[in-house]
Amino acid sequence: MRISHHYVTVLVMGALALVLPAQGQEDSSRDTLIVETILRIEGFDLSSSTKAQGAVRRYLKNEWGGERYLDLIERFDLKEEAPGLLRLALKKSESPTGAEAATLLVGLGKGALLGETLEGEDEVAAGQAAKAIAHSGDATLMKALPKVLANPERPLRVRSSALSALYGKDPERQAQLLTMVKSNELAEDLRQTASEILMLSRNAEIREEAKSIFSVAKGDYPSIVELLKRKGDPSRGKELFVTKTCMICHEAGGTGINFGPGLSQIGDKLDARALYEAILLPSEKISMGFEGWEVTLKNNTKLVGIIEETEENLTLTMIGGAKQTIEKGEISSKAKMKQSLMYPGLHQLMTPDELADLVAYLSSLRKDG
């Protein structure tokens, strides 16, 4: 028997009467119950209940960025929550949550807020906005990024973020970036960011050519036996963790992106030799649960990352932490990669002494350290 929306509303009103106090007292647990209830009811009209509206408003205020925050805004088309969405898209610009917030902001017709932030004077926020714009994929917003990149008056942080946003995901665009690097069209202060993008390209030819351009370790790299004889400096290694691509995929000490295996207590798990092996030979031992997959869509788009599946959908987490959920009907094929998502040769962005510093830092990351 099909139940009418009117009958559903009556049922919900009755449930609200039971869980909300008559005198309007506020209780976060009751608000959460209301939110969970109305999200489960197809076709519920939020405007039909002032009590439900109040519960939703309080929940959004008290649980900003929480588990149901985005669900509520999307389900009930709450355009008035755009400022909070913007804040989330910026603050979490390195995470899947931030990517979802940016996409939803554009979906609500409020993407202009990202454009305004990109043009603003706050360089931290502008850099975050560039990343959020890339997550959203909005064509109009993306057109603003080359202008930022070409403006030498903009801070390096902002231009670096714009460079990553433009070239960080698409191998075809990365080929264009490689051409810019080779012809010296790219500003010198952006070469470090370009090296990170190109050395992590899904295109093996681009990676190899980038390696020849950006490698700072001239000649043959020392063996692990020789590297173990070097005494690294953990403080310098901590700086290298941030500047030499590591934090794009790994989190350590509260810094970085939770994509690959976490490193915050890696010193308790791997000794120096094992750390060198993991960096120099990443495909030899791939941690369970972090195997890479190549997914080809029916429109010939190829995506690479770590997958999670349900009966209907596949969710792909890509390098950098952004997630994309795809209906299985859109997928042409998927295949497990034989090599690690941490491509070989990244260590050549460092000198042997710098690599020793990095390993010394990673070795220092312990539970009691």
Res 221: pLDDT: 82
Instruction: Give percent of the chain with pLDDT exceeding 90.
Output: 44
The DSSP bridge pattern shows strands 331-336 and 323-327 to be: unpaired
Res 24: pLDDT: 47
Q: Which residue has the higher pLDDT, 254 or 82?
A: 82
Task: List the alpha helices (DSSP H) in the chain.
Answer: 5-19, 28-39, 50-62, 69-75, 82-91, 96-107, 112-118, 123-136, 139-142, 145-149, 156-167, 171-182, 191-199, 204-214, 224-227, 234-243, 272-280, 352-364
The DSSP bridge pattern shows strands 323-327 and 293-297 to be: unpaired
Task: Tell me the pLDDT band of 22, cut-offs 50, 70 and 90.
Answer: very low
Q: Which residue has the higher pLDDT, 82 or 340?
A: 82
Long-range CB contacts (< 8 A, 24+ apart) of 294-297? 294/334, 294/335, 294/337, 295/326, 295/331, 295/333, 295/334, 296/331, 296/332, 296/333, 296/334, 297/326, 297/330, 297/331, 297/332
Res 12: pLDDT: 54
Res 16: pLDDT: 55
Residue 2 has pLDDT above 80, yes or no: no
d(CA 134, CA 161): 10
CA-CA-CA-CA dihedral for 343, 258, 261, 251, to nearest 10: 90
Res 9: pLDDT: 53
HSE value, Cβ hemisphere, 13 Å, CA-based, for 60: 21
Task: Tell me the pLDDT band of 203, cut-offs 50, 70 and 90.
Answer: confident
d(CA 62, CA 29): 11
Res 23: pLDDT: 45
Distance (Å) of CA 139 to CA 10, 82, 93, 144, 290: 43, 20, 18, 9, 32
Q: Give the total residue count for the chain.
A: 369
Task: Tell me the pLDDT band of 114, cut-offs 50, 70 and 90.
Answer: very high
pLDDT in tens, 227-237: 999 999 999 99
Whether 178 and 210 have beta carbons less than 8 Å apart is answered as: yes
pLDDT in tens, 87-103: 999 998 877 788 889 99
Res 11: pLDDT: 55
Task: Indicate the average pLDDT of the chain.
Answer: 86
- Residue whose structure tokens are 């070469």: 191
- Residue whose structure tokens are 């312990």: 366
Name the maximum alpha-carbon separation found in the chain.
77
Residue 21 has pLDDT above 70, yes or no: no
Task: Tell me the pLDDT band of 85, cut-offs 50, 70 and 90.
Answer: very high
Phi-psi domain of 289 (left: phi exceeds 0; alpha: psi -120 through 50; beta: other):
left
Average pLDDT over residues 365-369: 79
pLDDT in tens, 274-298: 999 988 888 888 777 788 888 988 8
